[in-house]
Amino acid sequence: MNDADRKALEAIRRRNPDADPRKFLPDVPVMRIPRHIAIIMDGNGRWATSRGLSRSDGHRAGASSVRRALVRCAELGVEYLTLYSFSSENWRRPEDEVRALMELCVENCHSQQAELSSSGVRVKVIGRREGLPEDVLGALDFVEQATAGGNRITLCLAINYGSRGEIVDAVKSLARDVAAGRLGVDQIDEAMVASRLYTAGIPDPDLLVRTAGEMRVSNYLLWQISYSELCVTPVLWPDFTAADVDAAVREYASRNRKFGGLAGGA
Ligand code: IPE
Ligand code: IPE
Ligand code: MG
């Protein structure tokens, strides 16, 4: 291990003493472990349909993949995992499917809270509260509060989330400050816009994974993924395992990020 990797490992271990990226990815320099992974969890419907099950059964099966992905991300020392759980466009789905998704959300907040808390996971929810049923809001508030002290990994759940709506909300909040004389137009810069997004304070995703093969971003984190590396896998979300997390991270580590500059980074 070179100096940079040793330092990267120390930084990871200070936050999460049990993380051991080299155990799962001995071929990947620790420095190249992504700090933030965002996932578009897609393919639950296709998984269920191909088995003659209902779409809701597919969503239920997908919930186990969440746990597997979260555990492996923590083991690798990833700091943030952001999961697209329900988009602001998913309300267009049949009522019974939407209801099943909301019920699953409530159920999992309660059934997973103890394990999340004991494993040092902090849950943060992003998206619009307006429109979500009271019981869902209550369950989300409960799990956020119960896990507020978690400092090993942040699980960010995008629920009733749409990126354009998020940008609209940010613009409104800036406009209100300008109208009230609290903010000058020329003070607005990229950092200030970022600070008004739901993801304020969270670094941009290094890696965006989409399962089930579609080559689109579906209104997810449009501002935040400006320089994220993209990885699309054909694996359907309910089939997604720890080995698939490893594969995506290995792929990410092999990329040459340039941020508009020359090879090798800044
Ligand atoms: C992703 O699976 C889960 C949600 C969008 C909530 P889908 O339900 O979109 O699965 P497909 O795309 O129909 O296979
Ligand atoms: C994106 O998947 C939303 C979530 C994963 C929650 P969709 O299945 O809704 O996306 P489209 O409709 O295929 O673009
Ligand atoms: Mg889909």
Determine the angle formed by the axes of helices 242-253 and 55-76, rounding to 10 degrees: 60
Residue 206: pLDDT above 60?
A: yes
Report yes or no on 181 lying in a domain. Answer: no
For residue 186, the model assigns a pLDDT of 98
Report yes or no on 115 lying in a domain. Answer: yes
Q: For the chain, give the mean pLDDT.
A: 97
Residue 50: pLDDT above 90?
A: yes
Q: How far is the CA of 77 from the centre of ligand 3 (A)?
A: 29
Residue 207: pLDDT above 60?
A: yes
For residue 266, the model assigns a pLDDT of 45
The CATH number of the domain where 232 resides is what? 3.40.1180.10
Q: What angle do CA 12, 17, 206 make, to 5 degrees?
A: 25
The answer to whether 159 touches 127, Cβ cutoff 8 Å, is yes
Structural element, H or E, at residue 138: helix 134-146
Residue 24: pLDDT above 50?
A: yes
pLDDT category at 263 given cuts 50, 70, 90 is confident
The answer to whether 223 touches 167, Cβ cutoff 8 Å, is yes
What gap in Å lies between CA 167 and CA 187, rounded to an integer?
A: 18
66 in ligand 2 pocket by Cβ < 6 Å?
A: no
Report yes or no on 174 lying in a domain. Answer: no
Percent of the chain with pLDDT over 70: 99
pLDDT category at 110 given cuts 50, 70, 90 is very high
Report yes or no on 198 lying in a domain. Answer: no
Pocket test for ligand 2, best of 90, 102, 132 (most atoms within 8 A of CB): 90
For residue 174, the model assigns a pLDDT of 98
Domain that holds residue 118: 31-162+204-252
DSSP structure class, residue 228: P
88 in ligand 2 pocket by Cβ < 6 Å?
A: no
Q: Which residues, in sequence order, are CB contacts of 224 under 8 Å at separation 6+?
A: 38, 197, 199, 204, 205
**How long, in residues, is the chain?**
266
Report yes or no on 188 lying in a domain. Answer: no
Atom of ligand 1 nearest to the CA of 55: 8
pLDDT digits (tens, 9 = 90+) for 140-188: 999 999 999 999 999 999 999 999 999 999 999 999 999 999 999 999 9
110 in ligand 2 pocket by Cβ < 6 Å?
A: no
Report yes or no on 130 lying in a domain. Answer: yes
Report yes or no on 53 lying in a domain. Answer: yes
What gap in Å lies between CA 121 and CA 241, rounded to an integer?
A: 19
Q: Which residues, in sequence order, are CB contacts of 117 under 8 Å at separation 6+?
A: 146, 147, 149, 150
Domain count, the chain: 1
What gap in Å lies between CA 61 and CA 51, rounded to an integer?
A: 12
The answer to whether 129 touches 160, Cβ cutoff 8 Å, is yes
The answer to whether 202 touches 35, Cβ cutoff 8 Å, is no
Listed residue (131, 122, 82, 123) closest to 102, CA to CA: 131
Q: Which residues, in sequence order, are CB contacts of 264 under 8 Å at separation 6+?
A: 256, 258
Mean pLDDT of 78-103: 98
Number of alpha carbons in the 13 Å side-chain half-sphere of residue 133: 13
Report yes or no on 102 lying in a domain. Answer: yes
